[in-house]
A and B are shown apart, each in its own frame.
Chain A
Amino acid sequence: MSIALRGPGDDLMHRRRSAMSDPGPSGRFGRFGGRYVPESLITACEELEEAFRDAWDDPAFRAALSQTLELYAGRPTPVTPALRLSADLGVTLLLKREDLTHTGSHKINNVLGQALLARRMGKTRLLAETGAGQHGVATATAGALLGLGVTVFMGERDMERQQLNVFRMRLLGAEVVGVSSGSRTLKDACSEALRHWVAAADDAHYCIGSVMGPHPYPWMVREFQRVVGEEARGQCASLLPRAVPDVVVACVGGGSNAAGTFAGFVDTPARLVGVEPAGGAAVAGGEPGVLHGFHSYVLQDEDGQIQEAHSISAGLDYPGVGPEHAHLADTGRATYVSVTDDEAVAAVARLARTEGILPALESAHALAWVLKAAGTPDLPAGSTVLVTLSGRGDKDADQLARLI
């Protein structure tokens, strides 16, 4: 099927461009990506692609976004050497602190970019899907900041599990719509947001929360998250004798913090490692497929019915993975590994006790791989490693209290 889906010349076109650059009008990353949406959404996707290209080439838009990220979201975020944990592990561990941004995760970088773009396009409303509620909260925040209405679609099962975030979104002025179809989780919230967008594209922008969805979303969201990797690259240069870490690690659900992080290092010798949850490892356990408008690795049965992911971390509980990650895995430029729920929980506790930092369960997956790999051939003693700490763990306190 992969051959059947590949457009003629796509590979050649791709080889001419450097890694993690503009995928071009086909929205292909190698054989992955594309725009598998109903005809009713094609015009909206084309308008968005054109608007993003125009804005991204416009210094005034870039300046407005940079200023908002600095004055509102708290960028740049620091890179913190984890000194005690480094000593324990025998490696030099640096943490890119997205947990210190406003709203507490990297999600704000993308949301502010898309909200500014939506306003520039004359849209008055933002639509968003959310799993754990982090992207929903970030979208509600950006909507409040820019005076845009916000409707967040959330699976009813997730609403029960994340009542605090539902309350936060409503406090920020957003409408939260419960989704009762299918598994009543993130994948169903995505489907429902897409359905709503078909009817609302005139005045609403669909603010997708990760490097997924139809072209131009995977590319656009990666560009809005690129700031994570580019900042970290500069910060590593001043902290490390050899300027670039040996290994760069990030957790992967849809894969937005990893995409932004990797974009800053893809043209360096650094090894790139994406860490998936064992219960939702689309790269390791999925097969090529089409879901929510893009072609990538997807957890599915032998007939092609989508399977649910099962992770302790709601933010990683998605059966697919961004198409550019599928391509980076195929080409071998990045490696994808997985860790278990228990390993992630243990990593939260370890970082909290050694560094005084409470990471989100999602981010703890990246850290858990480092804890496991340190001192092995995967991460030999003396290595330098950068982990993107994509979010803070306050939101998980209730859940952790029941587990630890």
Chain B
Amino acid sequence: MSTRPPKMSMGTLETHLRARRDAGQALLVPYVTAGLTADWPDYLRAYADAGADAIEVGLPFSDPMLDGGTIQEASDRALRRGATPGRLLAELSTANPGVPLAVMTYANLVFRTGARAFCERLAEAGVTGLIVPDVPHDEAGPLSEAATAAGVDLVLLAAPTTAPARLRGIAERSRGFVYGVTVMGTTGERAALADSAGPLAGRLRELTTCPVLLGFGISTPEQAAQACAYADGVVVASALMRRALDGATPAEVGADVAAIRRALPAG
């Protein structure tokens, strides 16, 4: 924790996560694919009740390049139900789960609307974070500006293979949190936390005071607790969506989130 540069224009998401982290709480960010079921906003409320610090909301894209089978299936199901970004954001704006929301989606949905207009729509829906995995650091300049202008934190991803100079750039530009990808692979459940998770989180925490969260392949309370030994928190997605796809109700998936919460240090 040596030289930590001051952050500029910190948004609501980051302010909130920093406060919780600084109070000693391990951060828990569960995920839901928007539009998965008719009652999908109920997952947001269940997650918040279960102790989520923020919630990642997937806006489904037809060709999700970084997602494994589970999130692909969830996206396909949502799209077949007629989900559109406009309708989903309208539903999101009335959900009021009481914790910050970060939208995860792909570049084409953002640029189709236009980076500025898209970020403004997010802000109008009460969304304070944005994750776009196929807009890497080098291509993120204009989107980063648009997000900042709209008061949305643009979260960047870092990978185990990211070179040191790049990692520094990512750590400096990322807002909200820095998303450490634990594995070289797509989203999806894994039997064990990857060995690369710890070193990546360590490198990132040397570079920034922004919260560092680990994600990809974190499925169980044990894996989440293990990841939180290295990082400020975790994102849990596929394990929850697998349950939802198999018919678990918002309350049941919320109970899974609560079980993970109980395994993590609380502030």
Q: Is A332 among interface residues, defined by CB-CB distance under 8 A?
A: no
Query: What residues of A have a CB within 8 angstroms of the CB of B198 in the complex?
Result: none
Which has the most chain A C-beta neighbours within 10 Å: B67, B112, B185? B112
Give the interface SS of chain A, mostly helix, strand, loop or mixed. mixed
Query: What residues of A have a CB within 8 angstroms of the CB of B265 in the complex?
Result: none
Query: What residues of B have a CB within 8 angstroms of the CB of A306 in the complex?
Result: 62-63, 108
Q: Is B163 among interface residues, defined by CB-CB distance under 8 A?
A: yes
Known: A181-B72, A198-B186. A39 touches B181 (CB 8 A): yes
Known: A198-B66, A201-B184. A40 touches B108 (CB 8 A): no
> Nearest residue in B to A302 (C-beta to C-beta)?
B112
> Nearest residue in B to A2 (C-beta to C-beta)?
B111
CA distance A35 to B65 in the complex (A): 13
Q: Is B86 among interface residues, defined by CB-CB distance under 8 A?
A: yes
Q: Is A377 among interface residues, defined by CB-CB distance under 8 A?
A: no
Query: What residues of B have a CB within 8 angstroms of the CB of A7 in the complex?
Result: 141
Inter-subunit contact A36/B136 (CB<8 Å): yes
Q: Is A231 among interface residues, defined by CB-CB distance under 8 A?
A: no
Q: Is B107 among interface residues, defined by CB-CB distance under 8 A?
A: yes
Inter-subunit contact B112/A287 (CB<8 Å): yes
> Nearest residue in A to B86 (C-beta to C-beta)?
A303
Contact with A along B75-112 (1 / 0, CB 8 A): 01001000011100000000000000000001111111
Inter-subunit contact A5/B142 (CB<8 Å): yes
Contact with B along A18-43 (1 / 0, CB 8 A): 00000000000000001111111011
CA distance A4 to B118 in the complex (A): 12
Inter-subunit contact A191/B113 (CB<8 Å): no
CA distance A43 to B135 in the complex (A): 15
CA distance A246 to B151 in the complex (A): 55
How many residue pairs, one in A and one in B, have C-beta atoms under 8 Å apart?
136
- Could you tell me the distance in whole angstroms from the C-beta of A204 to the nearest C-beta in chain B? 12
Inter-subunit contact A4/B185 (CB<8 Å): no
Q: Is B116 among interface residues, defined by CB-CB distance under 8 A?
A: yes
Query: What residues of A have a CB within 8 angstroms of the CB of B136 in the complex?
Result: 35-39, 42
Inter-subunit contact A289/B184 (CB<8 Å): no
> Nearest residue in A to B64 (C-beta to C-beta)?
A191
Inter-subunit contact B159/A4 (CB<8 Å): no
Q: Is A119 among interface residues, defined by CB-CB distance under 8 A?
A: no
**Which stretch (A251-259, A292-300, A368-376) binds chain B?**
A292-300
> Which single member of A38, A194, A289 contacts B157 (CB below 8 Å)?
A38
Inter-subunit contact B184/A291 (CB<8 Å): no
Q: Is B228 among interface residues, defined by CB-CB distance under 8 A?
A: no
Q: Is B222 among interface residues, defined by CB-CB distance under 8 A?
A: no
- Could you tell me the distance in whole angstroms from the C-beta of B128 to the nearest C-beta in chain A? 21
Inter-subunit contact A289/B68 (CB<8 Å): no
CA distance A40 to B181 in the complex (A): 8
Which has the most chain B C-beta neighbours within 10 Å: A7, A188, A198? A198
> Which single member of A1, A5, A305 contacts B61 (CB below 8 Å)?
A305
Known: A35-B138, A290-B134. A42 touches B112 (CB 8 A): no
> Nearest residue in B to A6 (C-beta to C-beta)?
B142
Query: What residues of A have a CB within 8 angstroms of the CB of B186 in the complex?
Result: 195, 198-199
Inter-subunit contact A39/B139 (CB<8 Å): no
- Could you tell me the distance in whole angstroms from the C-beta of B157 to the nearest C-beta in chain A? 5
CA distance A194 to B63 in the complex (A): 11
Query: What residues of B have a CB within 8 angstroms of the CB of A293 in the complex?
Result: 65, 134
Q: Is A147 among interface residues, defined by CB-CB distance under 8 A?
A: no
Inter-subunit contact B158/A35 (CB<8 Å): no
Inter-subunit contact B112/A36 (CB<8 Å): no
Which has the most chain B C-beta neighbours within 10 Å: A7, A35, A40, A188? A40
Inter-subunit contact B163/A43 (CB<8 Å): yes
> Which single member of A4, A182, A201, A300 contacts B116 (CB below 8 Å)?
A4
CA distance A318 to B166 in the complex (A): 33
CA distance A7 to B108 in the complex (A): 17
Inter-subunit contact B108/A289 (CB<8 Å): yes
Inter-subunit contact B113/A304 (CB<8 Å): yes
Q: Is B115 among interface residues, defined by CB-CB distance under 8 A?
A: yes
> Which single member of B65, B162, B184 contacts A191 (CB below 8 Å)?
B65
Query: What residues of B have a CB within 8 angstroms of the CB of A39 in the complex?
Result: 133, 136-137, 156-159, 162, 170, 181
- Could you tell me the distance in whole angstroms from the C-beta of B201 to the nearest C-beta in chain A? 15
Q: Is B9 among interface residues, defined by CB-CB distance under 8 A?
A: no
Query: What residues of A have a CB within 8 angstroms of the CB of B143 in the complex?
Result: 4
Q: Is B114 among interface residues, defined by CB-CB distance under 8 A?
A: yes
Known contacts A195-B186, A303-B85; can you find 6 more A-B pairs with CB under 8 A?
Answer: A35-B136, A38-B65, A38-B133, A39-B159, A198-B66, A289-B112
A-B contact pairs, 13 of them (CB 8 A): A1-B115, A4-B114, A35-B138, A38-B136, A42-B136, A182-B63, A182-B72, A195-B186, A199-B184, A290-B111, A293-B65, A303-B84, A304-B113
Across the A-B interface, the 5 shortest Cβ-Cβ residue pairs:
A304-B112, A199-B185, A290-B107, A40-B159, A43-B161
